Structure 1
Amino acid sequence: METSNPHAVIVSSPGVGHLVCDLELGHRLVSDHNLHVTFFVVVESNSSAGESELVQSARTRKLLDIIELPPVDISSQVEPNAPIFTRLTTVMREIRPTLSSAISDLKLSPTALIVDIFGTPALDVADEFHMLKYVFVTSAWPLALILYAPILDKEVEGEYVVQKQPLRLPGCMPVRPEDVVDPLLNRTKHEYSVFLQVGLEMRQSDGLLVNTWEDLDTPTLKAMREEEGYGSVPVYAVGPLVRPVGPPSSRSELLDWLDEQPVESVIYISFGSAGVLSAQQITELASGLELSQQRFIWVLRPPSKDKACNDVLAYLPDGFLGRTHDLGLVVTKWAPQSEILGHGSVGGFLSHCGWNSALESILNGVPMIAWPLYAEQKMNATKLAEELGVAVRPKIAPTKGIVGREEIEMMVRKVMAEQEGKAMRDRVMELKNSGEKAWNEGGSSFNALAQLVKQCELNSERQRVKAP
C-alpha cells in the first residue's frame, strides 16, 4: 500500500440506524476536513431495503469509497433469535479476516479505523496496520453506562432491575433500574458478558466519537473526560449527525398531504424500523388519536415481526379509518421521516426514542411524546423528558403494560394544543439552534473532528517514518 494524505477507514455493522450515522460521519470527514475515507459496509444475507437504499444514496454523493463486505456465517455460534448485541458483535468478530484482506488491498495506507458500537471486536485489525482506532456511538449517557459497566459489575449485588436505588454513574445523572439497557436486564445471559466486553474494548481505543454536541450533554461529557471510572479515553462530541433530506425528485405523496395542513398541526407517529406494538396497544393508540381530534401521520407495523400479516389495517378499530379520514393518514410502508419532520405542518412526534430519531426531531424543532421500546431508548426517553424538557412520556412504561387511550389523548393534546407543548417547542428550538451552531466552522463539533483529523495526520507521519 502507498502512503499519502491521511486516510480513515469506517466499518459499519449491519442495520439502518448506525449506517445512517456512520455514513454522515464519513461525509463530514471528507467534505469539512479533506480526509480520504474508505467506507466498509458489512452486509447480512437478510439486509433490508433501507440499508441498500442508504448505500446507493451515499454512492451518488461520490464522497466516500464504499466497499461492501460479503456476509459471514454465524449460524454455528449464535441462535437465529439471539439478541442484537450478541448477534452483531459476533458478525463483526467473524468479519475480521475479510476486513484485514480488504484493507491490505487498498492503494492508500489508512491511518485510522472507526467502528460503531457493535464493531469493537474488529478493532484488533487496526493493530495489524498501525492504525489509530476509534469507536463511534450514538448517545452520551448510555455510553457512560457501558464504560462504567465493568465497575458496576463488581459494585452491585444481584440484578440491576431489582435495585432499590438508581445506579450511580460518577458525574452523570444516575440510571433508574427500570431504565437500564436491554443487555443489563439479566446478568446470567451471554449478552450481559458481551456488553461488559464491549465496554472493556472501548477503553482500549484511541478515542470515542459521540453523536451529540457539547451544549446538549455538557455534564455527561465532562464526567467521561474527568472521572477515572470511565477509563480515561478521549471523548469527541461530533454530532448532530442525521440522515440528510432526500432530493426533491423523490418527493412523497405524504408531503403533498402535509402541504395542505395548517402549520404545526400534525403529529407524526413512528416506532422505527424494528419497533412493534401489541394488537391491544394498537387499538388504544388509535382510539387515543381519535379522541384527541388532532391531525396525524401514523406509520403502522404489524403487531409482531414473526407473525405473517397480509393486512396491517385489520388491527385498527372498526370504522377508525372512516371516522378519521379528514384528520390523518395511516401508512403501512416506508415513510420519509427526515422530510416529514422537517415539514412546517408537523408539530409533534410520537417516537420510540431511538437516538437518530430524537436528533432529527430536535433539529427540526419538533417536541416529542417519548415511547421507548428496547435497547437504550428508555434512557433516551428519560433524558428527553426530564433533563432536556422536550418530551412528555406515559406514566406506565410501554414495555411494562398497555398505555390507555385517555392518557394517549392527554399527551397528544398536551404536545399539540396546550401551553406545555408551546414551552417544549420553545425549548426544542433552542436546542435546534445550538446543534446547528456546533457544526458551523469553529463550532464545537467541527473543532472536535478537526482534532481527530490532526491525530490522523500525526499517525500518517509516524507511518511514513516507519515505512521501509
Structure 2
Amino acid sequence: MNVILKAQKQNVKQAVANLITERKDGVLAAFIVDMFCTNIIDIAREFSVPAFLFFTSGVAFLGLNLHIHTLFERDNVDSTQLHQLTELAIPSFANSVPTKYLPSSVLHKEYESFFMSYAKGLKNADGIIVNSFEELESYAIHSFCSHPGLAGLPIYPVGPILNPEPKTKGAVDSDDIIKWLDDQLLPR
C-alpha cells in the first residue's frame, strides 16, 4: 500500500497546483488528509498550509495507535514482545486492554513497518479530525489533554459522521460530495 500512496504524491501535488492556478475565487487554507494517506502531509508543507488528518475511527482507537507507536519507537518494544503481555495499559482507554484483542497490524511482525510509517504520519499532522464526540468518548478525549504522550496533538471530534438514510444500500452520490467540498472554498 505504501508504494501506491507514494506513487500518487506527484499527482496530488499537480492537482493542487492546478486548482490554485485555475480557481480565482478561493484560497488554499489547509489539507484534509485521509488517515491512511499521511504521506500527503509533505505536499501540504510544500504549499505552506496546515495538514489535518480525518480519522474515521474513534478517539480511543487513535490513542491506541499513537501509544503503541510510542512503545515501538521510544521503548523499542516490538510485536513479539506485545504477545508476551496479557494486558496493556493505553492512555485513551479507561481499562487495560487484553493484548490478544489488539489489531493485527501491531501484533504481527510482517505489518510492523507499515504500522510504524502509518502511526508516525498521524503524529506529523497539525491536528486530527476524529469521527466521534465527547459524550461518546469522554475518557478518551480527555486523555488527549491530560496524558503527556498525547497532549501535544490537537484533536477535533466532529462526529458522529454517518448518513442515517442512504439513497441506496452502499451507494454514495459523488456529486453531492463534490458539491459539498466546492461549497467549502473560502472566497478571497
TM-score, structure 2 length as denominator?
A: 0.77
Tell me the equivalent position of 1:136: 54
State how far apart, in whole Å, the 1-side matches of 2:149 and 2:18 are. Answer: 39
Matched, 1:123 2:45: no
| 1:61-72 pair list within 5 angstroms | none
Change (3 A) 1:159 1:110: same
Tell me the equivalent position of 1:112: 30
Tell me the equivalent position of 1:178: 100
Tell me the equivalent position of 2:65: 146
1:58-99: CA deviations, max 9, x gaps?
xxxxxxxxxxxxxxxxxxxxxxxxxxxxx1x43222211101
Matched, 1:202 2:115: no
State how far apart, in whole Å, the 2-side matches of 1:147 and 1:171 are. Answer: 10
Gaps of 5+ in 2: 172-183
1:145-202: CA deviations, max 9, x gaps?
1111222212646625523331121252332111111211223x2x212212222222
| Cα RMSD for the two superposed structures | 2.7
Tell me the equivalent position of 1:166: 87
- The Cα shift of 1:230 comes to 2.4
Code of the residue aligned with 1:165 in structure 2: it is T
Tell me the equivalent position of 1:234: 154
State how far apart, in whole Å, the 2-side matches of 1:93 and 1:230 are. Answer: 27
- The Cα shift of 1:135 comes to 0.7
Matched, 1:98 2:19: no
Alpha-carbon contact 1:148-1:229 (below 8 Å) kept: yes
Alpha-carbon contact 1:213-1:237 (below 8 Å) kept: yes
For the residue of structure 2 that corresponds to 1:208, the secondary structure is strand
State how far apart, in whole Å, the 2-side matches of 1:235 and 1:99 are. Answer: 25
Change (3 A) 1:157 1:208: closer
Code of the residue aligned with 2:10 in structure 1: it is P
Change (3 A) 1:210 1:245: same
1:283-320: CA deviations, max 9, x gaps?
xxxxxxxxxxxxxxxxxxxxxxxxxxxxxxxxxxxxxx
For the residue of structure 2 that corresponds to 1:104, the secondary structure is helix
Change (3 A) 1:225 1:199: farther
Alpha-carbon contact 1:226-1:232 (below 8 Å) kept: no
Alpha-carbon contact 2:79-2:107 (below 8 Å) kept: no
Alpha-carbon contact 1:134-1:209 (below 8 Å) kept: yes
State how far apart, in whole Å, the 2-side matches of 1:127 and 1:109 are. Answer: 15
Tell me the equivalent position of 1:448: none
Alpha-carbon contact 2:60-2:92 (below 8 Å) kept: no
- The Cα shift of 1:243 comes to 3.2
- The Cα shift of 1:219 comes to 0.6
1:218-262: CA deviations, max 9, x gaps?
111111232121261101111111135234xx6xxxxxxxxxxxx
| 1:347-426 pair list within 5 angstroms | none
Identity, in percent, stands at 23
Alpha-carbon contact 1:126-1:132 (below 8 Å) kept: yes
State how far apart, in whole Å, the 2-side matches of 1:158 and 1:147 are. Answer: 15
Tell me the equivalent position of 2:178: none
For the residue of structure 1 that corresponds to 2:134, the secondary structure is coil
1:302-351: CA deviations, max 9, x gaps?
xxxxxxxxxxxxxxxxxxxxxxxxxxxxxxxxxx279xxxxxxxxxxxxx
Structure of greater Rg: 1
State how far apart, in whole Å, the 1-side matches of 2:136 and 2:79 are. Answer: 33
Change (3 A) 1:160 1:209: farther
Relative contact order: is structure 1 or structure 2 higher (C-alpha 8 Å, sep ≥ 6)? Answer: 2
For the residue of structure 1 that corresponds to 2:149, the secondary structure is helix
Change (3 A) 1:218 1:155: farther
Change (3 A) 1:117 1:203: same
Change (3 A) 1:222 1:337: same
